[in-house]
Amino acid sequence: MKKEAGYVLDVSYPAHFHKEIQPVWLSSLTHFLGTVAPDISKPYSYCELGCGVGINLLVAAATNPLGQFVGVDFNERHLAVARDAARSIGLDNIRFIQADFARFAQDNNLFFDFIVSHGVWSWIAPNHQQSMLQLVQKFLKPKGLFYLHYMCHPGATQMIPVQKLLNELAHHRAGTAEQNIQAGLELLGRLDGAGAFVDQPRLSASVQGLPGKGTAYLAHDFLTDYWRPQHSVDVHRLAAQAGVTYLGSADTFDNLEGLSIPGNLQPVLASITSPAVRETVKDLARNQHQRRDLFQRAPERLSAQQHLQQVDAIRFRLLPEAPRSGAVHFATPIGAIQGPEEIFSPLLQALAARPASFAGLRQLPAFANSVGLLSQSLQMLMWRGYAHPLRQGQLTNPEPVGRLKEWIVQQQLNLQVVEDCGTATYQLPDKM
């Protein structure tokens, strides 16, 4: 098994697409959150730290020709896949840099409107986390967005001893990372079967779910020497030291406190004014296990009127998986939520007919005098993968998108490119 800085190297991480890090999603969400987003109708720059095989950047670059995209990763094997794909798709607005974050922080001289990192922070050594923050501090432009995903307490806490066991076992074996994961899964299965987790049924269920995730994914998830779920309040403190302000989550559901916090806990939350304590209470109330935090450098807050103007201008379309009418069932992390037919049917029908702006959708009788209800309903549809904001402007050259689609088919990825939204969607049964 090969590692660098305690992180596994000898197996490739599978291509995972995250809609929440794409520029159209991030800039639209920033407007929902009430600040001025980087203007993506003009040329802009975007960097992903720990880009893996580059699937997020490839989709972003092919569908957002105004962006210049940079991916940084120390795993040459990952970057070889990413570079080959960029070449065969014919992308000239993407670059992959092989470096660890400390070296990139030293050598880089580019400034970015977006710096994003998914699936990296809680897996790497504290000095590499510091280098990521240095990059944000030095190279994120004013109004620039920083997206940071990480595992958090209290939801991920139960996995600390499981990760420790898997990683420790791997250190005592000669095999490859995937062989060591396989051995670890067998040991965990025997422990579970013998009743080791009998007083922790949630942990037992999580352990039973591990084999279905695939050994390559699990090797990256668990065979690191620095797996540490974080308290969001600690991460926010570090981010503040790097000069960025917490705006909210890039996961739209998490921002809808009225829905994502169970009703009986709402009065408790309402009684708390300190933002740091509120965020900690929300993590506890939701048993949050991962976060997709969105920060901004020098955010410019919009007045109520400007805020409505910005959101009014966002245009939405339905995504291929969306129903065309009816009530909508949302399987959320805190349980099932039924989106009422009288609200969702008119919204779905309007969007099924043609893309529409927020201002246009406000004219529907279901949302008369209720901007908040429309905002919440659209963000639930976005979260569920049923609706998405449109990118401004037309693609002048559709060829790279065509070649990206061919590449996706060749790679047998279950991903559908939605070029006018600058994104892609998975065809998944139901979101949990």
| Interacting residue ranges for ligand SAM, rule: CB under 6 A | 5, 7, 13, 16, 18, 50-52, 73-75, 78, 100-101, 118-120, 124, 128, 220
Nearer to ligand SAM by C-beta: 75 or 377? 75
Q: Which residue has the tokens 């779920």?
A: 229
CB of 120 to ligand SAM, least distance (A): 5
CB of 296 closer than 8 Å to CB of 145: yes
Nearer to ligand SAM by C-beta: 230 or 376? 230
CB of 59 to ligand SAM, least distance (A): 12
| 422 dihedral zone (left: phi>0; alpha: psi -120 to 50; beta) | left
Nearer to ligand SAM by C-beta: 7 or 386? 7
CB of 163 to ligand SAM, least distance (A): 14
Q: Which of 88, 71, 64 is nearest to 404 (CA)?
A: 88
Cα angle: 420, vertex 415, 385; to 5 degrees: 65
Task: State the number of CA atoms in the 13 A half-sphere of 294 facing the CB.
Answer: 29
CB of 240 to ligand SAM, least distance (A): 22
What's the DSSP call for residue 197?
T
Nearer to ligand SAM by C-beta: 10 or 312? 10
User: Strand, helix or coil at 342?
Assistant: helix
Nearer to ligand SAM by C-beta: 102 or 395? 102
Nearer to ligand SAM by C-beta: 100 or 254? 100
Rounded Cα distance, 34 and 44, in Å = 21
b/e per residue 11-39 (b: at least 16 CB within 10 A):
bbbebebbbbbbbbbbbbbbbbbbbbbbe
CB of 106 to ligand SAM, least distance (A): 13
CB of 162 to ligand SAM, least distance (A): 17
User: Strand, helix or coil at 414?
Assistant: coil
Q: Which of 87, 63, 97 is nearest to 407 (CA)?
A: 87
Alpha-helical segments (H) within 9-149: 23-32, 55-63, 76-89, 101-107, 126-139
CB of 72 closer than 8 Å to CB of 62: no
CB of 218 to ligand SAM, least distance (A): 11
Nearer to ligand SAM by C-beta: 307 or 426? 426
Distances (CA, A) of 417 to 40, 118, 320: 19, 20, 10
CB of 311 to ligand SAM, least distance (A): 28
Nearer to ligand SAM by C-beta: 78 or 228? 78
